[in-house]
């Protein structure tokens, strides 16, 4: 009886880490990249490309039945340079993003003042010492992960908040950064900090890979299963909701989709579609 219970417990644990088959959300008319959900899952920040092929940061709001385009973010975030890959903190107070004028890309942060995001500042030089992309933070806002050029492709780094500034980043171990290719892109940390997702691990087309942290130790990365990685399709534009682990939603784009937030997968054993799903309305108001 005891061994039966142990086997059942293990089976449930395995199920809880899997994703149900992904289903499609009808795409909009704008190319949307780098999505990030607010803590209440009611707003999405993303980068968009306007008619001049210039990327800026905008947002969508959930109406209760579908997503509606809300416009470009107010404040001093958007400039004549390219702003991409936004990440909004759980408390909606800090917006991290990439800024570039062709190259290199550096990481910036802006603060919400009740009207928009202002006081945009570049993160310190210990982080922006090379081309940096894909900022993503844990729910507590104390751990920053990103992709940075390292002399041997791009690798994933971690920086801790020390109460005053971001500390000197450290490169994550070979279990995440080595094998299957030299570049790591579309970096995404789960809210609890125990799962790290990325692409660029040598597969062509690009597949989504992940590593889990168990007892504080990152495990050897592996590819997500066929519910997400379909043969012949590249994965990009990855986003996780802040929902509890058992009902979390993973959003991503496949290469035959014109925008991102086009597909989603749900953690098992979730039987019903969550209320936050719906068609992206992407009518771009000039």
Q: Is residue 124 one of the residues assigned to a domain?
A: yes
Indicate the pTM of the whole model: 0.85
Q: Is residue 8 one of the residues assigned to a domain?
A: yes
Contact by Cβ (8 Å): 46, 32:
yes
Beta strands 82-88 and 94-100: pairing type? antiparallel
Q: Indicate which CATH number applies to the domain containing 93.
A: 2.120.10.30
Number of structural domains (the chain) is 1
- Which domain covers residue 165, as residue numbers? 2-281
**CA-to-CA distance for 144 and 203, rounded, in angstroms?**
26
Look at the alpha carbons of 199, 203, 206, 210 in this order and tell me if their dihedral is positive or negative: negative
The predicted-structure confidence for 9-19, as pLDDT tens digits, reads as follows: 333 333 335 78
Q: Is residue 233 one of the residues assigned to a domain?
A: yes
Q: Is residue 232 one of the residues assigned to a domain?
A: yes
The predicted-structure confidence for 15-67, as pLDDT tens digits, reads as follows: 335 787 777 665 454 567 788 999 988 899 998 877 667 899 999 888 777 77
Q: Is residue 286 one of the residues assigned to a domain?
A: no
Q: Is residue 187 one of the residues assigned to a domain?
A: yes
Beta strands 280-281 and 67-72: pairing type? parallel
Residue 283 has pLDDT above 50, yes or no: no
Contact by Cβ (8 Å): 231, 259:
no
Q: Is residue 69 one of the residues assigned to a domain?
A: yes
The predicted-structure confidence for 188-208, as pLDDT tens digits, reads as follows: 999 999 999 999 877 788 899
Residue 151 has pLDDT above 90, yes or no: no
């Amino acid at each position: 009886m005891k061994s039966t219970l142990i086997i059942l417990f293990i089976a449930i644990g395995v199920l809880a880490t899997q994703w149900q088959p992904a289903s499609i959300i009808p795409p909009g008319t704008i190319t949307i990249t780098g999505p990030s959900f607010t803590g209440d899952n009611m707003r999405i920040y993303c980068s968009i490309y306007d008619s001049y092929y210039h990327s800026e940061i905008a947002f969508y709001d959930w109406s209760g039945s579908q997503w509606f385009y809300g416009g470009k973010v107010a404040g001093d975030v958007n400039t004549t340079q390219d702003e991409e890959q936004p990440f909004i903190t759980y408390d909606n107070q800090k917006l991290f993003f990439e800024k570039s004028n062709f190259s290199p890309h550096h990481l910036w942060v802006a603060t919400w003042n009740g009207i928009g995001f202002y006081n945009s500042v570049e993160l310190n030089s210990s982080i922006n010492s090379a081309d940096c992309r894909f900022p993503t933070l844990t729910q507590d806002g104390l751990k920053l992960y990103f992709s940075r050029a390292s002399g041997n492709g791009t690798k994933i780094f971690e920086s801790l908040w020390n109460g005053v500034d971001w500390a000197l980043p450290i490169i994550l171990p070979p279990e995440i950064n080595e094998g299957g290719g030299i570049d790591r892109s579309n970096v995404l940390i789960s809210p609890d900090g125990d799962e790290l997702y990325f692409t660029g691990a040598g597969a062509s087309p690009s597949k989504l890979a992940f590593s889990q942290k168990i007892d504080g130790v990152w495990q050897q990365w592996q590819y997500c299963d066929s519910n997400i990685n379909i043969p012949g399709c590249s994965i990009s534009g990855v986003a996780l909701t802040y929902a509890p682990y058992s009902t979390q939603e993973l959003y991503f784009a496949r290469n035959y989709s014109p925008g991102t937030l086009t597909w989603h997968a749900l953690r098992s054993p979730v039987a019903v579609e969550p209320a936050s799903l719906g068609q992206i309305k992407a009518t771009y108001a000039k």
